[in-house]
Chains A and B, each alone.
Chain A
Amino acid sequence: MFSRSARRRASNIVFVSACSFATLVAVGALALIFYSLFWHGFSGLNVKIFTMDQPASGNEGGLLDGILGSIVMCALGMIFAVVVGILAGTWLSEYAGGSRYGNIVRFLNDVLLSAPSILIGLFIYVIMVKPFGGFSGIAGSAALALLATPIVVRTTEDMLNLQPGALREAGVALGASRGLVVRQIIWRAAQTGLLTGGLLGFARISGETAPLIFTALGNNAHIHQLSDLTRPMSALPLIINQFANTAEEDLRNLAWVGALLISLAVLIVNIAGRWIAQGARKS
């Protein structure tokens, strides 16, 4: 029927078009999602979003309390994640080597990294919300901290491993102790990489909803965000979740605005992180 070469050429064409089609689907999905986000969310974007608290249906309002709550909880979570994550990552890279305990910690960090975020929320509920009698901003921060830490650990270890061994030897040859070499030379050489880890961690937790539902709960009683961490706290993803599930048109539109804001924020942080990481790898 067909010659062997014609058959091979045909199968190749089919394969190449199938691969192109797959890429088209993936990029198309991204485009479609952003199209919907802008279509539904952009028109609602105005100054009030950033200056007013969440409204009851039918009233004017914005997302200020959610934005503030998200910033506070993410910031607290990130402080913990960066401190613990960099120290733990340093231990894995500089001290653990191929030791048995090091490998166990590395594996457990991977488990934490890919554990469903809702389970982290359950854990914080059991150890913080239930015993201390209530949902709180601090519990939300703890859940977010636990989600960001493994990412910082992973990036820190990778970035420190990228630093050449000669750099460490040079430091030790000058008479510096191991810890001094790590703090003064290796950390400094890897600082952009460490920053990337922080940014990636931040990008992950800023959109997290599930672990906040039963730790921070959400709050519509005006601003406690900046003053009282022991009370339920509002967060942008929580407001989106709550408003998307209502039947009120105006609240739903507000949810779309929130979704647009949060997606853009995550995208910008992600792109910044990648950009910085690329610079770090090149230098």
Chain B
Amino acid sequence: MTALATASDKRIVRGTWGETIFRSLCFSAATLLLVALGGVVISLIIGGWPALHTFGFSFFTSTEWNPVTEVYGAAGPISGTLITAFLSLIIALPLAVGVAVFLVEFCPRVIAQPLAIAVELLAGIPSIVYGMWGLFVFAPFFAANVQMPLSQSLNPDGFWGHVFAGVPNGVNIFVASLILAIMILPYMSAVFRELLLSVPQQVREAAYGLGCTPYEVVTSIMIPFVKRGMVGVVMLGLGRALGETMAVTYIIGNSHDFPKSLFASGSTLASTIANEFAEATSEMHTSALIACGLVLFLITFSVLAVARLLLSQQKY
């Protein structure tokens, strides 16, 4: 009897030890995430500090990026990042809403699921494949069928001539934004679709019962219902567009100037890093590129923080 009791006591003791070890293992793994992110931030600050310290505020305002004279100003890449991200958002947002509404409201049940999956799969294609497709397939097509006719028909000194000025090779800010839009579209429409599906069935049926057309149900019942969540999704899409690297690197033209027209070549923070980092030889060049990384991190982090805040207030 006593022997049995001690045996089971031992097992309990061993059990609690195992319990503590397992629990601390899980806890350390979770803490490792925190350490990793902390490490990213700290290493970017330390690595970028020499450049930020040397160039100060002009790092953000100057467009002079010159590895030969060792002067670095990131205004070109920063503006390029913001412009391409916002342009792509403007293009992708109405399309994403349209796709989500179509899949939820208008599409026959049988093909809704396969279509939704097909659109989501678009999100899984690697960035570099979009880049190759953009550079070798879409850019030549765009140059021949959009840029050439436009440049021939527009007066180069007029307003529209300036807006659409640029070398007609299909490698520019606008094409980069278009490809970015295709890349963030499936992601945004997938989450929109989930949001729209979260609208209670009774609310929709009540609206239809009042005699609303599908258009009215969607625009005055469903979209207002999920408005806050939608803003969150838009921010997440924006975050993706801001940090996208390979696809943009292929099709933005990689010039460090401030983009002067829609069809001008430019660069983004991510594309600048991808292009130059492996070849950067001087300490200052490397540091300037890491500082670009820090700026990119701060931009995407703030966008994400706002998105989380908005999404957390929307239950779905």
Contact = CB atoms under 8 A, between A and B. Distances in A.
B208 interface: no
B101 interface: yes
Contact of A33 (B101, B129, B236, B239): B129
A209 B246 contact: yes
B245 A210 contact: yes
A112 B37 contact: yes
Interface stretch (A50-58, A161-169, A173-181, A188-196): A173-181
B19 interface: yes
Interface stretch (B26-34, B146-154, B164-172, B198-206): B26-34
Given A207-B129, A210-B246, A241-B128, A119 B239 contact: no
Contact of A92 (B16, B30, B297): B30
A1 interface: no
Contacts of A14: 215
Interface size class of A (residues with CB under 8 A): 35 or more
Interface in B2-34: 15-16, 18-19, 22-23, 25-34
B297 A109 contact: no
Given A108-B37, A240-B132, A26 B189 contact: yes
Contacts of B99: 19, 22-23, 26
Interface residues of B, number: 88
B144 interface: no
Given A118-B273, A213-B277, A266-B125, 8 more contacts: A19-B105, A26-B119, A107-B308, A114-B239, A114-B240, A122-B277, A207-B126, A207-B128
Interface of B: 15-16, 18-19, 22-23, 25-34, 36-37, 39-40, 43-44, 46-47, 94-99, 101-103, 105-107, 115, 117-119, 121-122, 124-133, 135-137, 182, 185-186, 189, 213-216, 218-219, 236, 239-240, 242-246, 250, 270, 273-274, 277-278, 289-290, 293, 296-297, 300-301, 304, 308
21 contacts: A14-B215, A25-B95, A26-B186, A29-B182, A40-B136, A91-B26, A92-B30, A95-B23, A105-B33, A105-B34, A108-B33, A114-B300, A115-B300, A116-B296, A119-B293, A123-B39, A123-B43, A126-B290, A209-B246, A241-B128, A262-B129
